[in-house]
C-alpha cells in the first residue's frame, strides 16, 4: 500500500491530483514541486529472490530487468555499458535530466532466507550501497522490510538511510498502523465492540518526536483490524501470516533469563531491555535482549522507548505465545494457564479457599514466581488469572479513592454479566486487613457503577507457611 501510494505521488506517468486533493500533503509547500515529477522504479526484492535462490542470480536478474526496461523506454539513448546498472542509470539521467525515485519492498528478504550466509548478505549490501549511495540520479530511495539495516561492526553499509522501526519510529509513529481514533471510527461503521477491538489488537506503544513535540500513539495491527471488521468476528488474523513455530524458535533459546522474561510478560509484566546490541539480523544473538529486540521487529512484542521496556501487546499475540509454549517443554506454564479458567470460576463463586489453593499451585509450579514483596506477588496473581483477560480489562495500580488498588478486573462491554473485581495484595500480613484497606481507602469509588456486581478480594502470602490466604466479599452499596 505504501509503495503504491508513493509511486502514484511521485510517478510522472500518473495523474494523482484527484487522489491527493484535499489531503494534508496537498497543503504542503513541496506538493507541487514533487507530485508526478519523477521516473519511479518499484521493486519487490522477494520476487527476484524467489525465482533465483542465490544472491548472484538475484542481482543479475534485477539488473537485467531494469536495463531491458530502459532499453525499451529510452530508444534514443546510447548505453555505454549495459552490464553496469550504475552506468545505465547515469546514462538515462544525463539524457532526461530527471532523477529517480526507487521504491524497494521486502528489502530484507535475503537476510530472512539466507540467515547464515554472511558472504551473501555482505554482497547484497555492497550492491545496494554501490547502486544508491551518493548518486546524483537518485532523488529518493525508500525501502520497506521487517529488519533494520544490517550492521557490520560499528557501522552500517547503508548509512545514507534514515531508519524508522518498531523501536524508533520518529515522526512516522502515527502512520505505522491504525490509531485509537481510526479503530473507534471503524467499529462504529461496522457495528463492532471497540473495547474488544482494543483488547485483541491494540498494545503497540509508539512515540513520535518532531518539531511539534513528543506524542504517544496506541497502534493497532492493521491487517487484524481489517479482517475483524470485514468478517464481523474478533480472532487471530495477523499471525496467520506466520506460524507459532517462528516464535517458538526464539523463545526456547537457551539464553540466560529469556524464559523468565517471557513468563513475566505472559503475566502482563514488562521487561527492561537494551536494544543497542542487536545486529539487525535473525541469527546474531549475544544476549536475551537481542532475541527480545528481534521479537519487537517481528511484531511479537511492543517496545516502549521511554521506559526501554518490552511487553506482549495484546490478546492476539498472546495466543501465539500459548500456541508455541503448548508444544515446548514449558509444562508448568501450560498447566498454570490451563488451570486459570477454573481459578477464575472459583473467584466468581466466592470460594476463597479454592482461589488460595489455585494461586499456591501456580506459585509452586513456576520457578520464577518467587517473591519477597507485594509487587512481585502481583506477577503470580496475573499469571494465575490469565483467563481473566478474555472478559476483563486488567489494570494494575488503578487510582481510586485515597490511593491505588493493586489489581482491578474491569468487565468489557460485552461481558458486563461478570462481576468487577478489586484485589488488594498483602505480603506476610493480615488478609482481613486487605479487605479493610479496600473499604477504608474507598478503592471501590472508581468502580461504583458496578454496585452489587463488585467483588472485593484480599490475598495474603504467609512467609512461614508458604501459603496464600484469600478472602472474598461482595460489595453492596
| Strand bridging mode 100-105 / 39-44 | parallel
Say how many residues make up the chain: 477
Residue environment code for 173-195, b if the CB has 16+ CB neighbours within 10 A, otherwise e? bbebbbbeeebeebbeeeebebb
- Backbone phi, psi, residue 68, to 5°: -60, -40
Picking from 423, 421, 391, 419, the residue whose alpha carbon sits closest to that of residue 407 is 423
**pLDDT tens profile 131-144:** 999 999 999 999 99
Check whether 477 has a pLDDT greater than 90: no
How confident is the model over 269-308, as pLDDT tens digits? Answer: 899 999 988 988 888 899 999 999 999 999 999 999 889 9
Residue 402 confidence class, pLDDT cut points 50, 70, 90: low
Per-residue pLDDT band for 242 (boundaries 50, 70, 90) equals low
Distance CA(364)–CA(373), nearest Å, equals 16
Mean pLDDT of 407-434: 90
Residue 238 pLDDT exceeds 90: no
Q: Mean pLDDT check: name the lowest of 84-98, 116-130, 242-256.
A: 242-256
Average of per-residue pLDDT values in the chain: 89
Q: Work out the percent of the chain whose per-residue pLDDT is above 90.
A: 57
> Which pLDDT score is estimated for 433?
87
**Whole-angstrom distance, CA of residue 198 vs CA of residue 204:** 11
Give residue for cell 526507487.
102
Beta strands in 250-323 (DSSP E): 271-272, 302-304, 309-311
pLDDT in tens, 322-381: 999 988 988 888 888 999 999 999 999 999 999 999 999 888 877 666 666 666 788 888
Distance CA 226, CA 201 (A): 11
Lowest mean pLDDT among 49-58, 231-240, 444-453: 444-453
> Which of the residue ranges 114-123, 155-164, 349-358 has the most confident prediction, judged by mean pLDDT?
349-358
Q: 278 φ, ψ to 5°?
A: -65, 130
Tell me which of 96 and 367 has the higher pLDDT. 96
pLDDT, residue 243, reads 63
Question: DSSP characters for 132-159?
Answer: HTT-TTEEEEEE--SSPPPEETTEETTT
DSSP structural state of residue 407: E
pLDDT at residue 132 in the model: 96
Amino acid at each position: 500500500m505504501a509503495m503504491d501510494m508513493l509511486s502514484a505521488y511521485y510517478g510522472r506517468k500518473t495523474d494523482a491530483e484527484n487522489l491527493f486533493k484535499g489531503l494534508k500533503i496537498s497543503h504542503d509547500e513541496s506538493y507541487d514541486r514533487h507530485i508526478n515529477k519523477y521516473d519511479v522504479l518499484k521493486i519487490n526484492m522477494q520476487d527476484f529472490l524467489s525465482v533465483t535462490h542465490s544472491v548472484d542470480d538475484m542481482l543479475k536478474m534485477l539488473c537485467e530487468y531494469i536495463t531491458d526496461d530502459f532499453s525499451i523506454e529510452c530508444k534514443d539513448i546510447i548505453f555505454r555499458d549495459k552490464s553496469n546498472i550504475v552506468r545505465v542509470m547515469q546514462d538515462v539521467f544525463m539524457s532526461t535530466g530527471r532523477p529517480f525515485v526507487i521504491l524497494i519492498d521486502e528489502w530484507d528478504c535475503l537476510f530472512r532466507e539466507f540467515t547464515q550466509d554472511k558472504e551473501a548478505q555482505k554482497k547484497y549490501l555492497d550492491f545496494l550501497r554501490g547502486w544508491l549511495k551518493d548518486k546524483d540520479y537518485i532523488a529518493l530511495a525508500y525501502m520497506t522490510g521487517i529488519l533494520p539495516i544490517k550492521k557490520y561492526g560499528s557501522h552500517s553499509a547503508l548509512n545514507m538511510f534514515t531508519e524508522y522501526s518498531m523501536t524508533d519510529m520518529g515522526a512516522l509513529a502515527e502512520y505505522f498502523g491504525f490509531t485509537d481514533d481510526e479503530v473507534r471510527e471503524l467499529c462504529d461503521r461496522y457495528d463492532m465492540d471497540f473495547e474488544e477491538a482494543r483488547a485483541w489488537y491494540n498494545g503497540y506503544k509508539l512515540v513520535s518526536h518532531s518539531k511539534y513535540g513528543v506524542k504517544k500513539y496506541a497502534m493497532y495491527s492493521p491487517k487484524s483490524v481489517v479482517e475483524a471488521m470485514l468478517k464481523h468476528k474478533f480472532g487471530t488474523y495477523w499471525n496467520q501470516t506466520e506460524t507459532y513455530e517462528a516464535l517458538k524458535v526464539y523463545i526456547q533459546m537457551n539464553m540466560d533469563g529469556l524464559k523468565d522474561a517471557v513468563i513475566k510478560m505472559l503475566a502482563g509484566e514488562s521487561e527492561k531491555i537494551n536494544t543497542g546490541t542487536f545486529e539487525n539480523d535473525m541469527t546474531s544473538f549475544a544476549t536475551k535482549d537481542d532475541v527480545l529486540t528481534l521479537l519487537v521487529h517481528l511484531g511479537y512484542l511492543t517496545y516502549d522507548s521511554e521506559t526501554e521496556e518490552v511487553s506482549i501487546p495484546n490478546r492476539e499475540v498472546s495466543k501465539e505465545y500459548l500456541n508455541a509454549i503448548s508444544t515446548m517443554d514449558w509444562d508448568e506454564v501450560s498447566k498454570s494457564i490451563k488451570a486459570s479458567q477454573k481459578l477464575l470460576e472459583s473467584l466468581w463463586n466466592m470460594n476463597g479457599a479454592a482461589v488460595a489453593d489455585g494461586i499456591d499451585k501456580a506459585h509452586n509450579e513456576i520457578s520464577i514466581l518467587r517473591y519477597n514483596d507485594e509487587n512481585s506477588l502481583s506477577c503470580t496473581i496475573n499469571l494465575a488469572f490469565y483467563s481473566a483477560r478474555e472478559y476483563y480489562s486488567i489494570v494494575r495500580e488503578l487510582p481510586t479513592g485515597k490511593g491505588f488498588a493493586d489489581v482491578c478486573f474491569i468487565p468489557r462491554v460485552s461481558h458486563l454479566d461478570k462481576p468487577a473485581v478489586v484485589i488488594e495484595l498483602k505480603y506476610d500480613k493480615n488478609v482481613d486487613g486487605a479487605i479493610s484497606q479496600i473499604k477504608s481507602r474507598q478503592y471501590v469509588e472508581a468502580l461504583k457503577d458496578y454496585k452489587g456486581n463488585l467483588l472485593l478480594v484480599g490475598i495474603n502470602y504467609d512467609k512461614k507457611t508458604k501459603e496464600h490466604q484469600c478472602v472474598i466479599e461482595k460489595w453492596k452499596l
